[in-house]
Structure 1
Amino acid sequence: MYKIAVLGDYDSIYGFATLGLDTFPVTTHEEAAEELHKLATGGYGIIYITEAWADQLKHEIARYQEEIIPAIIQIPGIAGNTGAGVAGVKKSVEVAVGSDILFSQQ
């Protein structure tokens, strides 16, 4: 069975531990990149990452974009929602169904 991880700044992710998820607080780019790689190759099927850290780790996340596992999902941090996570979901759905079906303007 795959595990679920949450990666980001401490204040944004510590509450996920109460849900039984493994939390990995990071403070530097190098630490975050290393931790992401460990999680992606260490039996984690889902990795939630704060939008702020996902923005800083674009190149590292791209390495896993074509892989089925792990699913790397952006979540808002305590600073608020940047919308980056929603854009990623929209693109994934468009690829899956072959068209722009979400947020169409009529």
Structure 2
Amino acid sequence: MYKVAVIGDKDSVLAFKALGVRVFTAIEANETRKLVDTLARDEYGVIYITEQLASMIPETINRYNDELIPAIILIPSNQGTLNIGMDRINKNVEKAVGSNIL
């Protein structure tokens, strides 16, 4: 069975602990990149990451786009959204359906 993790700043991800999700905090791009790669190797099936951190490591996020596992899902932080996650959803829907239905 695969595990679920969330990566972000402490204020944004602390509430996920109540849901039983493993919480990892990061601030810098390099530590975020290492965390994502480590979690992918450690059989985490879903990795939620705040948009602010994901915007610092686009090459790492793109490397896992075509992989089935882990699914990397971008979420807004407590500072708001950058609309990166919604843009990814729109592109995937358009790729699957042939047009943007959202």
TM-score range, shorter chain: over 0.9
Q: CA deviation at 1:30?
A: 1.3
State the Cα distance separating 1:63 from its structure 2 match.
Answer: 1.0
- Structure 1 or 2, whichever has the larger Rg, is 1
Q: Contact between 2:27 and 2:53, CA under 8 Å: does it hold in 1? A: no
Flag as ranges the 4+ runs of structure 1 deviating above 6 A. Answer: none
**Structure 2: unaligned runs, 5 residues or longer:** none
Q: What are the equivalent positions in structure 2 for 1:20-35 lying under 5 Å apart?
A: 20-35=20-35
CA RMSD of aligned residues (A): 0.9
Task: State how far apart, in whole Å, the 2-side matches of 1:11 and 1:73 are.
Answer: 18
C-alpha distance in 1 between matches for 2:21 and 2:80: 21
SS in 2 for 1:5: strand
**Whole-angstrom distance in 1 between the partners of 2:98 and 2:67:** 19
Percent identical among aligned pairs is 45
| Aligned twin of 2:64 | 64
Flag structure 1 segments of 5+ consecutive residues without an equivalent. none
Scaled by the length of structure 2, the TM-score of the pair is 0.94
TM-score of the two chains, using structure 1 as the length reference? 0.91
